[in-house]
Chain A
């Protein structure tokens, strides 16, 4: 049973527009969430995180929103740039476990 789900395998967005990547989780013990970006032939790169005490965290063009009641988080990228084209993974962890469960990823393509 997949505890962290990214139901959209791919997404295409025009340059300058907003990209919204979604992630759902099932385990109510998860209280820390992370987003990673991955380019081909490289390791994932940490982007942004959010803990369950917040519902929003912003870092430059990247904003993560957390809806605990819906067990849903989303990553917004505004404005999208061609260099943002990559696979994005969300991950979740329960405090004290130090184990992370990853989603299957969403491939974002930003069209110039």
Chain B
């Protein structure tokens, strides 16, 4: 199993408060991703990173920001949480050395963080 941990695993917060979720990897993979999973929507990409300090937006990036100051950590921040951000959040990694053909990599997912905004 890829070494990916997410913290916290569960969080309940109030509308308007800031929230930061952490993803930590021990695999030295280049790419890191944040997804949210909601019923009827599958997994939707929020932001991803292709290297330290290099990030880009995904499909549903509004209301979220990310930071990656070192290879192993990728942080997702909700500046002011809203009830629509209640979801399960998954971190994923890909792009390890020797993994897949050039331009194509499998992704490996963390265990998820269940966030409830009340």
Contacts and interface: CB of A to CB of B under 8 A. Distances in A.
Interface in A22-42: 31-32, 34, 36, 41-42
B93 to A, nearest CB: 11
Q: Which of B41, B50, B106 has the most CB of A within 10 A?
A: B106
Given A32-B104, A95-B104, A96-B103, A43 B41 contact: no
A98 B94 contact: yes
Interface stretch (B14-22, B61-69, B75-83, B109-117): B109-117
Interface residues of B, number: 31
B97 interface: no
A102 B46 CA distance: 12
Contacts of A36: 109
Interface residues of A, number: 26
Given A46-B106, A89-B42, A104-B42, 6 more contacts: A36-B109, A43-B92, A45-B109, A89-B43, A102-B42, A103-B42
Interface of A: 6, 31-32, 34, 36, 41-46, 49, 51, 89, 91, 93, 95-96, 98-105
Q: Which of B40, B41, B107 has the most CB of A within 10 A?
A: B107
Nearest to A51: B104
A54 to B, nearest CB: 11
A95 B103 contact: yes
Interface in B16-72: 31, 33, 35, 40-45, 48, 50, 58-59
B104 A41 contact: no
B112 A41 contact: yes
Nearest to A33: B104
B42 A105 contact: yes
Nearest to B112: A43
